[in-house]
Chain A
Amino acid sequence: EAEVAQSPRYKITEKSQAVAFWCDPISGHATLYWYRQILGQGPELLVQFQDESVVDDSQLPKDRFSAERLKGVDSTLKIQPAELGDSAMYLCASSDNNEQFFGPGTRLTVL
């Protein structure tokens, strides 16, 4: 069964350092999403791609966060510099325009 892959699963970093997360969507899925899930809350969209183009990044803190999907397949989300408030689960999802399929997430802890 096809799955969304994410790495790393866990990341611990110190504030002001740079971190990067990787996502490989289900093959053939044109739409890719990055969500952030703060402990005790529901996920919130950070950025949505259609192929290699950004469709929605209205909630992405662009002073420190960046996302790319250069070839319209896998994607990288970067934070530089990381802040204490960035500690959260970062979820990637991909869609066949019907259902969104989620990866296992990357749990980020910023010390």
Chain B
Amino acid sequence: GDSVTQMEGPVTLSEEAFLTINCTYTATGYPSLFWYVQYPGEGLQLLLKATKADDKGSNKGFEATYRKETTSFHLEKGSVQVSDSAVYFCALRHDQGGKLIFGQGTELSVKP
């Protein structure tokens, strides 16, 4: 079945450091790919998405590129802030309106 694998956390970085969170997927066909963020005590929020190969999703300084050849959708940010501390989830979805299949989440902690 379809699955998403993320790099293990927690990831601890200093403010202004470069961030990469790896995400790879296994799926039939051409799913859409997503990154969601969960701040402490809150629900999941969509951070960015890409719907086809080579698409780049971006939002709030975060970027991820849909790489079909490596079945990856790695999340990057050039300079993290303390306010970026959260849990990040990679997910895929086959159909509009269909269910999301999530990775296990990666906790990011940014220290001042």
Q: Which residues of A contact B (CB under 8 A)?
A: 4, 31, 33, 35, 40-45, 48, 50, 56, 91, 93, 95, 97-100, 102-105
Complex Cα distance, B43 from A43, in Å, reads: 11
CA distance A103 to B42 in the complex (A): 8
| Among A31, A50, A102, A104: residue with most chain B CB under 10 A | A102
B104 contacts which chain A residues (CB < 8 A)? 40-42
Interface size on B, residues (CB 8 A): 19
Residue of B nearest to A48 (CB): B99
Given A33-B99, A97-B96, A97-B97, A41 and B105 contact (CB-CB distance below 8 Å): yes
Task: List B residues at the A interface (Cβ < 8 Å).
Answer: 4, 36, 41-46, 49, 89, 91, 96-97, 99-100, 102-105
B44 touches A43 (CB 8 A): yes
Interface of A is mostly: strand
- The contact sample of 25 A-B pairs, CB cut-off 8 A, is A4-B43, A35-B100, A40-B105, A42-B4, A42-B89, A42-B91, A42-B105, A43-B100, A43-B102, A44-B102, A45-B99, A45-B100, A56-B99, A91-B43, A91-B44, A97-B96, A99-B46, A100-B46, A102-B36, A102-B43, A102-B44, A103-B43, A104-B42, A104-B43, A105-B43
Chain B residues whose C-beta falls within 8 Å of the C-beta of A35 in the assembled complex: 100
Cβ of B42: which chain A residues have Cβ within 8 Å of it? 104
Task: List chain A residues, Cβ under 8 A from B100.
Answer: 35, 43, 45, 100
- Cα A105 to Cα B96 in complex, Å, equals 23
Q: A35-B100, A41-B105 are in contact. List 12 more A-B contacts (CB 8 A).
A: A4-B43, A31-B97, A33-B99, A42-B91, A43-B44, A44-B102, A50-B97, A56-B99, A100-B46, A102-B44, A103-B43, A104-B42
CB distance from A79 to the nearest CB of B (A): 20
* Bound complex: CA A93 to CA B102 (Å): 14
Instruction: Identify the closest chain B residue to A3 (Cβ).
Output: B43
Nearest CB of A to B47, in Å:
11
Q: Nearest Cβ distance between residue B13 and chain A, in whole angstroms?
A: 20
Q: How far is the CA of A105 from the CA of B87 in the complex (A)?
A: 15
